[in-house]
Every structure is written in structure tokens, then in C-alpha cells.
Chain A
């Protein structure tokens, strides 16, 4: 600890603040402002009950993010494994005592705040994997035995999430882990092999799915088959998108959203609402802004001089990307509905804080991009 502080002395707090990527912060603020506007509209032109709290949370989130950005990346690296085990512990706790919401045990009620451990877990897995591959050379990564421990470490929480049951989140976690392995240099044919095995295993897994999960998949395949049942959300969402047209119905003017045909418009379907009120132009702009944030995150990864930071940056960026992609694809009926919010735009405290913590770590990577972490390149 003494040594760590000594090395850190090289950077003052002011210097750290100066190296924070402020353009990135501004992009996040733009995204959150969009969320504020849409939540204002979702309430029929009122800051209550969602927009005001959204703004407040984001303000808190920004403070939290900057604070985490000040934390030395080496300290964060040391916490990687302890945090991973904490995450697994939380998942077990949620399985034993979690509150049941919408037919699944996902939330842990800690008095004033409720947390969704499966969301935090994704961040912890990123840190864990980055830490594991931090020292590994390409040759080492090529050794299949070296890959066994991290794959098991990913599999344990994924199985716990599956059992909640939350198929969507489990799949997203797998894809996230795969992206980090990919960036770490794992051979492409290994991904192909695993993909092939999964393709064979999928029908067997389908047999073991819950009814509501099967329903979702079936509805996805043919949403019009059951317009008032499970396909209702998707059809209403598509109607709302279509009614938006090129330039939209206007702010607080979306007929489908304002008349409540659109379900859960303040959370999962907020993108649909934006697309109805601001049309294709507005929706494409929002997609563009999100892509910009993703690419900026990847650029931060490239600029980092240590492998840990690079992998963390790729992981956090990919995690954000997956949120955005899954949410938008879902409301367009391109993939099954999965209860995934649009980060920083959808209403919801737990998701917002999780995302902001992630970005805080990403900023820390950026601030500490040039520090040296011992144990580089072993084996």
C-alpha cells in the first residue's frame, strides 16, 4: 500500500481531473438529457413522476463516475477477484432471499436501495477476466488449459443467472465474456467450435426452458400470431415506430405513446416513444450518439498502455453496446423481448447506477492509461 501511494504521488488530483475525458462526459450528459426529455413526455408533459428523479440520479451518477475515475487503476485491479467473489455471493444471496419480480428472482432488497446483482456481476466479470489475461502473452493464451479457469469463472455466475431465471441476461453475459476473450487474442476457431457445440445443444436446452421463455422465443418468431397476448408489446411498438415516420409526431405528440398503447414506455420501450415523437431522424441520431460513445470507449482502450486497462475498456464498452443494441433490436421486434433498458435514457435507478459505475472504471482506465502495472508479460 505504501508503494502504491508512492507511485501515485506522481499525479495530483487536479492533474487527474484534467485528464478526465470531458468530451465523453458531455456525450453521456447528452444521452441523459434525451432520457429526461423522453421521460417528461412519457408522463404526458410533466417532470413527475419520472423525469425529475432521472435527472437527480444522473447528477449523482456523474459524481460517482468522476470519483471512481480518480481511483488508481492498480487498486481496482487488486479488487478484481474479491469483487468477483462478492458478485457470486450476491447472486447466491438473491437466489436464496431475493425479491420476486415479474416471475423471476433478480433483485436483492438492501433496505433503501435494491440492487440487481446480475448487472453488477457483468462489471465484475470484466474486471476478473481483464485481470486474468493481464499478464498473459499470446502464446499463453493459445494454451487451452490456460482458458479453463476463466471459462469456469464465467460459467458459475451465468448458471446462477440462468436459474433466476433470466435467459437474456445470461446470454448477454456470455457474449460479453466472449468479446473480452476475443480481444485478449483467443483464436477465432475456438469461438467457432464453441458456437458449433451450442448450436447442437440449443434444442436440448429449449426443452428445459420455462414456459414464459419459450413463449418469448415463439412470439419472436411470429409476433402477429397472438396480438393481444405475448406479441402485443412488439406489435404496438412497431405500430408506434411506423406512426413516427421520417420526422415524427412532435414532442409530447406521439399518439400511440401518449394514449398508452405502448407498454412500459418509460422503461424498456422509451426508444419507441422517441422514434414516434422525433421520427427516424431523431431515432437515428440517438443510435449515432450511442455508437459514438461505444467507439470513443474503444479508442480509450487502444490508447491505454497496459493490457488490464485495455481489456477493461473493451469489456465496459461492449457491455454498454450490448444494452443499447439489445434494447433497440427488441423494440423493433428483431430479437425477443428481454426487459433490457436503454442505458441513461430509460427510467430506473439500479441500471443507471450500474452503468455509471462502469463508466467510472472506464474513465479511471483513461486517466491511468500510462501507469505501469507490475507483473506485465509473465510466462
Chain B
């Protein structure tokens, strides 16, 4: 019995110890609970709130882009979409089968839908079909009771009604890449697009607008319980360009068979009225995704449809550069307008012989005649007298070889060489022979068609340093620069400018002028002025010259000269300036001047710079790439 007593005593002691231990452990739990629920409560309350509330962005509609008269060139197309919410139907297969009987679904579409349904949570809508026709939508709505789980909604997608015609100006949109992420949370949204080139890219922030916000109460798997707060965003602003869509369409059609570029400016204020580069591409293709084959076709095409040749194509200016040389000589008093310089077909300098384009020479010519007949010997001599540095300085004042700060991505500055430039980049001194070559716009000089148009505009607008621009208004706000007085003078005497204008008028409107064949028809009642240019893409060898020059049409396409023309109209009171380049077109007077003539006829008829209401609206008709244009050129 004693043994039982000690055993019970041990047991009692130990049970009390167990009881105490358990009480202490429970106490510890309670203490920890106090810590979590009371002491650190605030920290966890914040975390809880974050857990519960989900902020979602509401993307605003992207601003549209319109031409100067309000014709839309980039807008948002309504996009009716049908989605499937798997949890609202008992049988996804049956719903899709019914859907398919109303709006046929291809086998691969069904496979994609079923795959996505399996992968996503069951309350997340899966896209069944977008860009539905109105008739399809009506059919789906009428049959809604037989389509459990199908919901429809209205989204938007970007569309370019003019297609290829405006591709290089408006650009296109694409899903944002890593480099586009600029801190705007909107870019994280699925389906969002950013401007990838052209005005879409230049004015992306303006067009994009500001996202609205909606605060939603959600549960752990993201299902929305209810909406707590909503702030509407700011829609993207409407961008008005300086382009006249009707003129743009006409210009694009005129050059669609060539590899060419045309720029039409309002010479008085620098507004770009038309800017076409051909061949072009259809930016609408980017909305649905570019196939590998399509992309390869674009990038391997030797005519570079993706490149805007008007601003990114660089060419030697050729004879269109001669006015700049003349103005530099007049300013330096190296020659007077009346001085006659004799041309007998070539100029010799040391061992080298520099040929005039006209075999046998022009004879003695003054400055006006030299420009009108585009005599090379005259300008060899004048350039030799002036020197390359003064020619380069003059060229820069006319916008050649400088960054014109165009409001469009991708514009290239080109190159106007100086002695300093050659020493710095090539390490050898400038040769006098090079000065002669540059006097007729060949050599290192590289300019864009846009720069040539700017040069012409500054020459005929009384010497104002207009800068080209494509933005006319953002929202209701006109941008600076639409008035001529907004631009400073470049400091050329009026008499010199008038002489150039008169000489360029002679080029077109007098017999013996290089563009006489392309003069405007008299019934228009307006005349134009201009200057042709032809630039060699390869050197003519002495052997070839002795054998006799072959006709351009007989040369392989890549060897043919580029044809250039710069011009303006009307002659008496210039409003429009134009630059045309036809790649491998042959001669400036034969290939480029006729384009300029046709474009200026259209321009003067529509007269976009001097009217506020549009002429009869152009009909947007997206065109095909002129793939049929033979590479061997016209005959």
C-alpha cells in the first residue's frame, strides 16, 4: 500500500507539472496572439487592405489623327468581341458547337479556345472571336439563351483608313516592347498599343491619354466582388496634321509605280502638305500581327517599303544644289550676275578633266542662263572661286546637312562636307578638284528630299528659316509656327533671292530650260519654277565616256541615275515648295520634273494652304503595293 502511495504521489506531482506546462504553453500562444492582433495590428491591417482592394486601370481611347481639314487618317475601329466564361456553362464543347453553327469557327480556333479554357481560371473570359460583323453580333444576341457562357463586349482597335498612303506619316502601333515602358502603368495592360513609328510614336503620350482607375474589391483568386470607386481617365487628344489627305492620296498614286519620294511644303510656314514615299506598306497589317513571310518580303525588297525616303533617304543633290553655290558666290562677291563664263564642254584642273553634261559645251553664260541650262562648267569655275567652306555654310543656312528638328522620328541630317570635316573623318586634306565636284552637287554631299524642299521654300519665301513640321494642332491648340512671322530671316539679300527665283522660273518656262517640257499648262493660269537634278549612282569611267555614253534606259536599273526636281508655285507669289526624287529614274528633266508638274497641278487646284474648308472629300481607298511595277523601269 505504501508503494501505491508513493506512486500516486509521483503521479500527482508529474500531472501537476504537465498541467502547469500546458498552461504555460497556452499562455505563450495567447501572448503571441496579443502581439499579432493587438501590438502589430496596424501593420497587418494595411496588408489586409492591400489584399482586399485591387486597383485596375481603365485604358482611355487613343486619340485619333486627322488631316488639316479633319479627315481621319488614324482612328479607333469598334471591335465587337465574343468571349467565353467557362464557369457559366456546363458544357464548353456544346456551347462552342452552338456558337460555331451561328458564326463558323475553324478547327484551330476551337483548339486554341479549349486550350485557354483549360489553362485559365474558370471565371476569366477567354476570347472566342474578335472583329465580328454586325450581323454576327445580332445573331449571337438573338441566340443568347442557347449560348450559356458566351458574353460579348465592345473594344477598339487602331485602323488607318488610308492604308499605305499615310503609312510613313502616321506610322503604326504595336504592343509595347521592353524599351517602350516609360513608367506609365497603362502600358502593362493586356491589349494596349503604343506608337511604334511616325506620328503615332512622336505624339504617343498625347494620343495615349491618361488611364482611369477603378478600385475593386476582389477575393483571393481575383474574382471581382464589387466596385468601390471609379475615376475616369483622360482620353487621348486629337492630333491635327498639316497634311491634306486628298493631296497626299494624289501624290501617292502618282508615284506608286516608282521607287520615289515627294515632299510638298507650304513655303511660307513650313507646313508639310504632302509627303509620300513609295513603295509603301499597309500599317493596318500591324494591328493583327505581321507574318514572317510579310516581314521578309518588306525587308528584302530592294526598294525598301518600310523606309520613309522623304526624310530618311539621302541622295547627292546634283544640279538642284547649284542655286546654293550661286548664292554663296554672290555673297562672297566671287562673281557678279552679269559675268559670263565660257563653257566648252569641260574644265581642266591639273591632270583631271571635269566634263559638262552637254558634250561640246554651252558657250559663254551668265548666272541666270547657267542655272536655266544647268551648265556644269560655269559652276565648276564659280565653286573653285568661292571655296567649299563658304558653299557649305550657305547650304546649312538653307537647311541642308542639318537636323531640321522634324516632328517625325527617323529624319536624317545628311552631310554637307567642309575641309575640317574631311580632315577629321578621313585624315587627308581637301583637294581642289573635290570643290569642283561639289559645285555641281556631287561628291560627299548627302541630303534628304525634305531638306531639298526646305531649301527651295527658304529660297522663295523671302529668306525665312522655316522648319518643316507635320503637327498643326494638338486638341484645339494650334502649334507655334503656323504663321510666316514665326520664323526668323536667314539674311540673304532680296535681290539675290529674286535672281534665283527668276532663274528657276526660266528653267521651266523658257525654251532651253531643262524642265521646259514640264511647264504647267497655260489654262491653269499659274506658272511654276524649279530646277532639275540628276545624280550619278556610279562613276562614269573614261573608257565609257570615250565609247560614247549609253542611254540611261539601256543601263541596268541599279546603275541608272537618280532623278531630282525642286520647284515652287506660283512663280509670282510662291506658296508651295516641292521636292521630288525618283530613284534610278534616269534624268531629272525626264523623270522627276513631270511628277512635280502633276503634283503641283493637283496642289494648286486643291490649294490646301489657302483655304480653311476642305475641297470635296477624298475617298480613302487602301491600295496594294505596286508589286507589278517592273524593276527594269518604264519604256
Contacts and interface: CB of A to CB of B under 8 A. Distances in A.
22 contacts: A138-B7, A179-B18, A184-B11, A238-B36, A239-B47, A239-B48, A239-B51, A242-B40, A242-B43, A245-B38, A246-B38, A256-B52, A259-B52, A259-B220, A280-B37, A280-B38, A294-B22, A295-B19, A298-B19, A298-B22, A301-B15, A332-B32
B-side interface mostly: helix
Interface string A207-243: 0000000000000000000000000000010111111
Given A241-B44, A246-B37, A314-B18, 11 more contacts: A138-B3, A182-B14, A238-B44, A239-B47, A242-B36, A245-B37, A259-B217, A263-B220, A275-B37, A283-B37, A290-B26
A259 B30 contact: no
Interface string B1-35: 00110110011101101110011011001101110
A371 interface: no
B74 to A, nearest CB: 41
A244 interface: yes
B3 A137 contact: yes
B225 interface: yes
A276 to B, nearest CB: 9
Given A259-B217, A275-B37, A376-B4, A287 B45 contact: no
B618 to A, nearest CB: 56
A275 B218 CA distance: 21
Contact of A183 (B15, B40, B43, B218): B15
A377 B26 CA distance: 35
B100 interface: no
Contacts of B33: 241, 275, 280, 283-284, 287, 328, 332
B605 interface: no
A275 B29 CA distance: 13
Interface of B: 3-4, 6-7, 10-12, 14-15, 17-19, 22-23, 25-26, 29-30, 32-34, 36-38, 40-41, 43-45, 47-48, 51-52, 217-221, 225
Contacts, number: 137
A316 to B, nearest CB: 13
Contacts of A244: 37, 41
A302 interface: yes
Contact of A287 (B30, B43, B51, B217): B30
Contacts of B45: 242-243, 245
A260 B52 CA distance: 10
A120 B219 CA distance: 37
A127 to B, nearest CB: 17
A334 B37 contact: no
A132 interface: no
Contact of A325 (B11, B25, B47, B221): B25
B29 A325 contact: yes
B530 to A, nearest CB: 70
A318 interface: yes
Residue from A242, A256, A314 having most chain B Cβ neighbours under 10 A: A242
Contacts of B34: 280, 284
B30 A302 contact: no
A34 interface: no
A123 B221 CA distance: 40
Contacts of A138: 3, 6-7, 10
A279 B37 contact: yes
A238 B34 CA distance: 12
B220 A295 contact: no
A294 B220 CA distance: 36
Contacts of B15: 183, 298, 301-302, 310, 314
A243 B44 contact: yes
B3 A332 contact: no
